[in-house]
Amino acid sequence: MFVARSIAADHKDLIHDVSYDFHGRRMATCSSDQSVKVWDKSDDGEWHCTASWKTHSGSVWRVTWAHPEFGQVLASCSFDRTAAVWEEIVGESNDKQRGLSHWIKRTTLVDSRTSVTDVKFAPKHMGLMLATCSADGVVRIYEAPDVMNLSQWSLQHEISCKLSCSCISWNPSSSRAHPPMFAVGSDDNVTYTGKVQIFEYNENTRKYAKAETLMTVTDPVHDVAFAPNLGRSFHVLAIATKDVRIFKLVPLRRETATTSGPTKFEVQVMAQFDNHNSQVWRVSWNITSTLLASSGDDGCVRLWKANYMDNWKCTGILRGDGTPVNGTSGQPGAASAMGTSGTLVSQAAVAGAVSAGRAKAQLMPG
């Protein structure tokens, strides 16, 4: 049994993204009204807006949290061709502002000549790094050399993907056997070619090189998400396109130790679901990578789970307006142990999965 709870988000236009912090107690939303709102969960389980401010001069496509080790830090990206980094300042507030947190802009990243479509902080073991991707087909990776001074960011890498980029995901694996890696998706609907590319960092050249293109994904891609890696030797990548796809990337053993090129992968399709019967906009994993949530233009969030045989099945359907769905495939309540799995925010379909006290959700215009 899933419980839907409505939040009056009070955005003046479409909500494009929602992002939970590491602990799942804070949430950020962004919208075409050019604002970002921060929400805090109170002890009674209610969400309260604690900050709202105009962030950009165009639609804000994505918002994301840094790991709390680096403080309370957000990044946003926009149609106005910029990305921005924001930090919460907790100072002595006067009576008028008590209860409202104060977020200040630490930097604006202005290297893109076109809309910045996604922004993601790197896994924390890499330090405070930020990747952006743009409609001009370039992925840019920035680093804050001094984590105490978030106004200083240096552009470390510019990687051309040859296709307009729509989404990016870091591989979260912290294993020494896995070099830093990210996947980038394209919503280009002109060229008939692979729309998801995997890039890997090479220690020798100190550059990112393309390791793989998923040639079977030829339709526009709206979201990509690497699954959390809990000691696996292989990688799992979920893709939101005209359907939901889950890929397994198995690194092939290098022939010789002197091989300096990027890792080669055996690419396997683990699952493919067209149950949304429409464009899929977001895919999101829980912390143990046992549950995948997807949201689509059908106004539903669908939850996917694998059994011990690695067969993926739908374990729950959440309708964006909170009404029950008839004919849910899979056992009713099979995923109910996951906690509050759906939230409706201002007429948007939310894909959410909560596990082990940590929430992860994505939100799209419904």
11-15, 57-61, 90-94, 286-290, range with the lowest pLDDT: 90-94
In this predicted structure, the answer to whether residue 77 has a pLDDT above a threshold of 90 is yes
Q: What is the per-residue pLDDT for 177?
A: 85
Average pLDDT score over residue span 90-107: 70
pLDDT in tens, 174-222: 888 899 999 999 999 877 889 999 999 999 999 999 999 999 999 999 9
Average pLDDT score over residue span 29-34: 96
Q: How many angstroms separate the Cα of 134 from the Cα of each of 27, 151, 329? A: 24, 22, 38
Q: What is the per-residue pLDDT for 164?
A: 95
Query: Where residue 91 falls among pLDDT bands split at 50, 70, 90?
Result: low
Average pLDDT score over residue span 8-37: 95
Q: What is the per-residue pLDDT for 96?
A: 55
Q: What is the per-residue pLDDT for 346?
A: 28
Query: Where residue 341 falls among pLDDT bands split at 50, 70, 90?
Result: very low
Q: What is the per-residue pLDDT for 357?
A: 29
Residue 211 has which token pair?
């390791």
Taking the complete model, does pTM exceed 0.75, yes or no? Answer: yes
**Residue 236 near residue 248 (C-beta atoms within 8 A):** yes
Average pLDDT score over residue span 335-349: 30
Query: Where residue 59 falls among pLDDT bands split at 50, 70, 90?
Result: very high
**Residue 186 near residue 171 (C-beta atoms within 8 A):** no
**Residue 211 near residue 265 (C-beta atoms within 8 A):** yes
Distance separating alpha carbons of residues 239 and 303, to the nearest angstrom: 14
Average pLDDT score over residue span 309-318: 91
Q: How many angstroms separate the Cα of 171 from the Cα of each of 159, 288, 291? A: 17, 14, 17
Distance separating alpha carbons of residues 81 and 264, to the nearest angstrom: 34
Between 100 and 323, name the one with better pLDDT: 323
Q: What is the per-residue pLDDT for 93?
A: 54
**Residue 290 near residue 338 (C-beta atoms within 8 A):** no
Between 104 and 328, name the one with better pLDDT: 104
In this predicted structure, the answer to whether residue 349 has a pLDDT above a threshold of 50 is no
In this predicted structure, the answer to whether residue 323 has a pLDDT above a threshold of 80 is no
Q: What is the per-residue pLDDT for 90?
A: 77
125-129, 139-143, 191-195, range with the lowest pLDDT: 191-195
In this predicted structure, the answer to whether residue 24 has a pLDDT above a threshold of 80 is yes
DSSP code string of 200-267: EEETTTTEEEEEEEETT--S---EEEEPP-SS-SSEEEEEESSSEEEEEEEEPPPSSTT--SPPPEEE
In this predicted structure, the answer to whether residue 255 has a pLDDT above a threshold of 90 is no
Of the ranges 1-10, 186-195, 276-285, 339-348, the best mean pLDDT one: 276-285
Distance separating alpha carbons of residues 178 and 247, to the nearest angstrom: 17
Q: What is the per-residue pLDDT for 192?
A: 84
Distance separating alpha carbons of residues 101 and 197, to the nearest angstrom: 39
Q: What is the per-residue pLDDT for 14?
A: 95
Q: What is the per-residue pLDDT for 4?
A: 77
